[in-house]
Amino acid sequence: MQKRSVIFDHDGSADDFLSLILLLSMPDVEIIGISITPADCYIENALETTLKLLERAGKSEIEIGIGNFHGINAFPSHWRAKPKVINALPSLIGIEVEGNPTQFIDSVELITRKILSSNDPVTIMMTGPCSNLVHAIRENADLVHHIEEVIWMGGAFDVPGNVATYNHNGTAEWNVFWDPISAKDLLKYGLNIVFVPLDATNDVPVSMDFLKELANHREHQWADLAGQFWATTIDTIPAYEYIYFMWDVLATSYLAIPNAFVFESMEVDIEAVGPSAGRTVRKEGSNQFAKVAMNVNKETFYDYLINTLTT
């Protein structure tokens, strides 16, 4: 079986680590490198969790790069602290790893080297901001010729965004808002970009019924760990009812179940500054084309999750 060479760029929240579990479980995917963006995390904790998951999966040889760009619009600090809680979970706390960020190479160097040394075109799977990839391309434009596809959990095209902060009108999604200037630049390179935006992820909540079903499979290590990870998210978003969505997990599942998605090809743009900074928009005449997930077959997606986490 020809495996797809994938660089995974994440930003260290609970759903990023669930995405890593999925990637580690995909038989036709080879993770050739992992980049960590210091966005929805504090880098030391996110690095530790990443190393623990690789150790648990028997994949500790996968090389990791650390992003040293800290964005323009910071994520809330209480969201960023989530990996510290995750590392204390019973399933992970006993795994000893060496996680000093200063001993790891820069993400830009990792991305550049892994792309140029690959025998096959590389897929970039991004569940955080796109800054590391854009900075790498700015330094070496030849990288675009070796990238097969960029899959990005980001954006909100026909639905409201999820940014609620000062001086912003709420139209942006956080992964784009963190560094809207790099996000706008990403569209200029002619890459094959697949957006999995809030338009699609809003249809797949992490419901209590789903968590109860997952809890019935605790004898499987990944199902048990995934349930623990999602349990840490219940207080993330204040609401009368628990609301958390399969943001990164849905985007990552595209690699395994692409036919479950409904896509629209469109010309797009991103607003880089002002009260709508980070807003992703349809823009005819931009000559910046992307494939945008608008919906997903929910039954296929949830079945895929349960089957993967219990195998």
Residues forming beta bridges with residue 125, ordered by sequence position: 8, 151
* Structure-model confidence comparison of residues 169 and 78, the more confident one: 169
**CA proximity to 285, closest of 297, 268, 301:** 268
| Residue 250 CB partners (closer than 8 Å, separation 6+) | 153, 196, 200, 201, 204, 296, 301
Helix or strand holding residue 4 (H, E): strand 4-10
How much is the average pLDDT of 227-237? 87
How much is the average pLDDT of 289-306? 97
The CA distance from 7 to 298, in Å, is 26
pLDDT above 90 (res 78): no
**Distances, alpha carbon 100 to alpha carbons 35, 63, 107, 183, 233, in Å:** 15, 14, 15, 29, 26
CA angle (240, 127, 307) in 5-degree steps: 75
Residue 215 CB neighbour total at 10 angstroms: 12
Q: 200 near 152, Cβ under 8 Å? A: no
Beta strands in the chain (DSSP E): 4-10, 29-36, 64-66, 105-106, 122-126, 147-152, 193-195, 261-270, 280-282, 289-296
How much is the average pLDDT of 103-119? 97
Q: What is the mean pLDDT of the chain?
A: 95
pLDDT above 60 (res 90): yes
Percentage of the chain surpassing pLDDT 90?
92
The pLDDT, as a whole number, for residue 241 is 60
Rg over CA atoms, the chain: 18
pTM: 0.97
Q: How many residues does the chain have?
A: 311
The pLDDT, as a whole number, for residue 242 is 57
The pLDDT, as a whole number, for residue 210 is 94
In single-letter form, the type of residue at position 155 comes to G
CA angle (224, 307, 210) in 5-degree steps: 60
Q: pLDDT confidence of 16, banded at 50, 70, 90?
A: very high
pLDDT above 80 (res 68): yes
The pLDDT, as a whole number, for residue 235 is 78
The CA distance from 216 to 223, in Å, is 9
The CA distance from 28 to 236, in Å, is 33
What tens digit of pLDDT does each residue of 184-228 get? 999 999 999 999 999 999 999 999 899 999 999 999 999 999 999
The pLDDT, as a whole number, for residue 82 is 84
pLDDT above 70 (res 234): yes
The CA distance from 33 to 254, in Å, is 19
The CA distance from 123 to 215, in Å, is 33
The CA distance from 272 to 126, in Å, is 19
Say what the alpha-carbon torsion angle 277, 278, 283, 286 is, to the nearest 10 degrees. 90
How much is the average pLDDT of 106-120? 98
How much is the average pLDDT of 230-258? 87
How much is the average pLDDT of 44-67? 97
The pLDDT, as a whole number, for residue 240 is 58
In single-letter form, the type of residue at position 247 comes to W
Q: Give SS3 for 132.
A: helix
What tens digit of pLDDT does each residue of 124-175 get? 999 999 999 999 999 999 999 999 999 999 999 999 999 999 999 999 999 9
pLDDT above 90 (res 107): yes
